[in-house]
Amino acid sequence: MHLSVKLLKRWGSGRSRPRGERGRFSGEQGITVLLALYVLTITTLLLGAAYVAVLNDTGLSRNDLDQTRALAAAQAGIAQYSFNLNNNPNYWEGCPVANSVAVATPAAGSTEFYSYKPLAATGQTSCDSSNAVGTMIESSGPAAGTFRISSTGTSNNVSRTVVVQYRRASFLDFVYYTDFEAFDPATEGYPTDCAFHWPNRNADCGLPISFVPGDVINGPMHTEDTAAICGDGTNSHGPVFGRTSADQIQVGGLSNETSGGVNGTQYNSGNCQLSYKMVGTLVEPGPTLLPPPSNAQLLNVAQSGGYVYTGNTTIALTGTTMTVTNSTSGNTGPTGVGLAMPSNGVIYVTSASAPPCAEAYTPGTANALYPPVASNIASCGNVFVSGNYGSSLTIASDNDIIIDGNIIPTGTPLTTPATVPSGTALVGLVANNFVRVEHGCASGSNVANQTFTSPYIYAAILAVQHSFIVDNYNCGAQLGTLNVYGTIAQLFRGVVGTSGGQGTGYFKGYSYDNRLQYAEPPYFLNPVSVAWKVQRQTECNGSGC
């Protein structure tokens, strides 16, 4: 019994356990090892997944960086082509090609190249330097007068291609253009030294033609001359220039008629002050933009795919057809009702060779032309135009174009301000001499069937050697607003109304047609000696690149 008690005491004291019992408890150490292996495995898998994800993101980031660098290289090619074109406006005629040109200052750690080439005009297969105009320049449609090139940039075998469309600076860039902000010396009896810009114009050239309160120029504007402003002393009530700050108002200068005038001479004794609302961005002086000497090239176009008429002609537009009245023999264009438009979209009216055209338009005598009676007037290349149109057309004359009614796109409502037209149809009116708005006036009163209250003219207007003018603008009662939606370009600034007393003629309501930024009437004339500019730029991924 004594021995048993001792054994129990030793066992109970915890200083020793049976061997089997110790083995059972010490075996629990394996659980910790398994847990550690499990955690290590999960951690390894997570780290591996993160590593793979990082590798994938690195590849995507690298590709994205190369894409950006390739686009920058393509832009560098465009910049180089534009530089060459500005130094030599005829550079494009040689069909120049650049292959794998290294970018001068590539990004660190990369090598970037660009290549550029010309793209043929619609219907052509390639650019031919022996016929660059025929194979490069678009001859019709919305892109008429433009050409395209493509530039491809590469970075680490990643490529991107940009196609750029070039266009010369155009009268169509402005709602209003003049070379001289003055009366036409040939029609007003002024000396020849009036055909100069201020301040070099002679003081006996008459009063300058002013922009007055009520005049609104809704778009970009350009004049080579000094613009005369006649306001009421407050910017909120003077003439308004531009729609937004994006519209450039390019002028040779601005003149206050009563505060020293131009060249130190006061020209107006009324209450004229230099006040205006400049919504657009004033550019003073603006770039040089000069008109061509004549519209004779349009006669050549009309003789090949267009219509040519001789002597006084009347054209009434009706959608995609027209009615033409002309009693002179020798016309190459048809006359009658429901006629199709010419295939190339150009009509030219020329004067008969005998008897010669002896008309010289002078304000106050235009009513003698409604209708023309004298044989030397009837033989003149004048064309009367009105109606609605659903396809593009350019009407030109070697003398005058007389607008004898609204000229609007088919389906366009007549609203104030003028409604933005839908569709792509555009009309150009290009006269060698005057583009005139018909207005008969006798004994100080308007002639009813020759007078239009607030007419609408949706057209691109160009008077190459003279002016856009209202017949008898200084006679009769005030006629409302002359709504022109498009562009007016003229050598001398024509008068459309007077502001003295109750005024005569029209106020100006000129609005720019934004479609003219990318489209133009068929074969519309461009200024002489002007640089090419980028009109449109798009990325290209197809076979046409």
pLDDT at residue 406, as a whole number:
96
pLDDT at res. 264? 37
The whole-number pLDDT of residue 267 equals: 41
**Segment 170-217, tens digit of pLDDT:** 899 999 999 988 888 766 767 767 777 877 777 677 666 778 777 888
Q: What is the pLDDT of residue 236?
A: 58
Q: Are 431 and 380 in contact (CB under 8 A)?
A: no
Query: What pLDDT does residue 265 have?
Result: 39
* Unique residue bearing structure tokens 């070379």: 179
Question: Under a CB-based contact definition with an 8 Å cutoff, are residues 319 and 389 in contact?
Answer: yes
Q: What is the pLDDT of residue 315?
A: 97
Give the residues of the chain that fall short of pLDDT 70.
1-30, 49-60, 105-110, 186-187, 189, 192, 203, 206-208, 231-237, 256-274, 354-376, 500-502, 529, 542-544
The pLDDT score that the predictor gives to residue 486 is: 95
Instruction: Write down the pLDDT at residue 423.
Output: 82
Tokens 């070039």 sit on residue: 166
**Nearest to residue 137, comparing CAs of 99, 171, 170, 168?**
168
Q: What pLDDT sits at residue 181?
A: 86
Q: Render the burial of 327-349: b for 16+ CB within 10 Å, e for the rest.
A: eeeebebebeeebebbebbbbbb
pTM: 0.73
pLDDT score of 271: 54
Residue 61 CB-half CA count within 13 A: 6
199: preceding bond cis by omega (within 30 degrees): yes
pLDDT at position 110 is 65
**Separation of alpha carbons 517 and 320, rounded Å:** 24
CB 438 within 8 A of CB 468: no
CA atoms within 13 A on the CB side of 242: 19
Residue 90 contacts by C-beta under 8 Å, 6 or more apart in sequence?
none
pLDDT tens string 378-390: 778 899 999 999 9
pLDDT value for 154: 93
The two three-digit tokens of residue 393, written as one number? 């057309």
Give the residue among 464, 533, 167, 467 at the shortest CA–CA distance from 298: 464
SS3 133: helix
DSSP 409-424: ETT----SSPPPPPSS
For residue 242 the two structure tokens come to 């531009």
pLDDT of residue 314: 94
Helix, strand, coil content of the chain in percent (nearest 5):
20, 30, 45
The separation between CA 178 and the C-alpha centre of its own chain, rounded to angstroms, equals: 17
Burial of 70 (0-12, 13-18, 19+ CB in 10 A): buried
Residues near 60 by beta carbon (within 8 Å), at least 6 away in sequence: none
